[in-house]
Structure 1
């Protein structure tokens, strides 16, 4: 089963993905979490529209083609079951071609990634969970999480406002991901998630 966790930057996708996989394993269900950081484009592609570009982040951050061809396709009906665990290394900017795994019977593969319902990609998921979080709450979380990596709180806020959260705004306007998701969870308080639909 191909499960996608979707939501704004800072909505808590990775946290919930890890919790979900841990719970599934606890219940005896084979489950794997794929890290979306392993499915970025190389820097030359990610920043070709400028390092501050919201449209650039939306269009170019993730290699959604590789996600479709090397993960979701092989895990789907008639697929080989052999899927890529990552296609890119963020630290070195290297393209990865040989890191794969084989899904076992009944395995659940969970990937958390912004923009995973873009276009035809939506039809390749078996279940999509949308995490509903107010924009300001998600923004504050993202800034707190990435301040050190982005050069401090002010720099992180500027990057989120101009690029990351602005790209999420494009995604919500163009794809209406909350409406298309199978399950919607209020994740404003990660300690007390609330099922809204599903």
Structure 2
């Protein structure tokens, strides 16, 4: 894939323009877009930038982060605070994402999405009210490992970091998670699988293609 240098503002605008014409293949009236990437790549920043660009263009969207769907600490940390396998396969409640986020956006759904489920700091349910997306409104989901779950996505964006950049930009206390991202690269090839690839090794000067 050929990549071109771009600014973050311009990238947000171009992605928003592309999404305006996006039609879900399954007949759903709500396009579902993933912004995949390690926390150090900050895919949520790009999702929020695109959301603002869509708002300016008169389109509704809802930004949902998978950090709001972490499992309770008793489950997430059952094998310790630094268990790589648990982090890779068990930290995020994918069942709840299917049920509370993707389910309501299926063809025939009511568009009422739960924006988050669990507060990991307080380790309790958030009790957030559901948000109803109008027809044509877009789900902008961001988080790590999104392209390994077969979510019903209409477009995927992977914000990539080289191994060196990932290590530099990940806090040292979280370096134990790096093998999980190496495994994700091997097993899922997110850079090749995504519809849009963003290289963010230099956070000031991204490049993109797709």
Is the shorter-chain TM-score for this pair beyond 0.5, marking a shared fold?
A: yes
1:42 is aligned to 72
Is 2:57 aligned against 1:27?
yes
The within-5 A match list for 1:1-198 is: 1-96=31-126, 99-121=129-151, 124-143=152-171, 157=172, 159-162=173-176, 164-196=177-209, 198=210
Where does the alignment leave 5 or more consecutive residues of structure 1 unmatched? 144-156
Map of 2:8 onto structure 1: none
Structure 2: gaps spanning 5 or more residues? 1-30
Give TM-score scaled by structure 1 length: 0.83
Cα displacement (A) at 1:97: 5.6
Alignment RMSD (CA, Å) = 1.7
Question: Could you tell me whether the CA contact under 8 Å between 2:115 and 2:128 is conserved in 1?
Answer: no
Shift in Å at residue 96 of structure 1?
Answer: 4.3
Report how many residues are paired: 180
How far the C-alpha of 1:182 sits from its partner, in A, is 1.2
Contact 2:72 2:124 in 1 (8 A): yes
Shift of 1:60: 1.4
Return the TM-score normalized by structure 2: 0.79
Distance (Å, rounded) in 1 between the aligned partners of 2:45 and 2:149: 26
Distance 1:73 1:7 in 2: 23
- Give the Cα separation in 2 of the matches to 1:182 and 1:74: 24
CA shift, 1:140, in A, is 2.0
